[in-house]
Amino acid sequence: IFGTALFAVSMVSNTILNYVLIFGKFGMPEMGIAGAALASAFAEAIAMIFFTVFSLKNVDLKKYGFDVK
């Protein structure tokens, strides 16, 4: 289920950001292919944040030797 959720977050954010940055919607400048590249980078960053937050909340860090105090 986690992999599916991560994929969904990544694809939805990429789709929305592509629309906004390629075509210049919602006050953003029209960037064309550069907007697509930027949108993909932002979508990956969003997916990384989602993965990190999910992992910190759901993985037993002590089991792997990470004692967070």
pLDDT tens sequence across 17-60 = 999 999 999 999 999 999 999 999 999 999 999 999 988 888 88
* Pairwise pLDDT comparison (3 vs 12), residue with the higher score: 12
**What pLDDT score does 26 carry?**
94
Is 2:54 a contact under the CB 8 Å cutoff? Answer: yes
Q: What is the 3-state secondary structure (H, E, C) of the chain?
A: CHHHHHHHHHHHHHHHHHHHHHHCCCCCCCCCHHHHHHHHHHHHHHHHHHHHHHHHHHCCHHHHCCCCC
* Dihedral angle over CA of 51, 52, 56, 60, nearest 10: 60
Is 40:57 a contact under the CB 8 Å cutoff? Answer: no
**What pLDDT score does 3 carry?**
85
**What pLDDT score does 69 carry?**
64
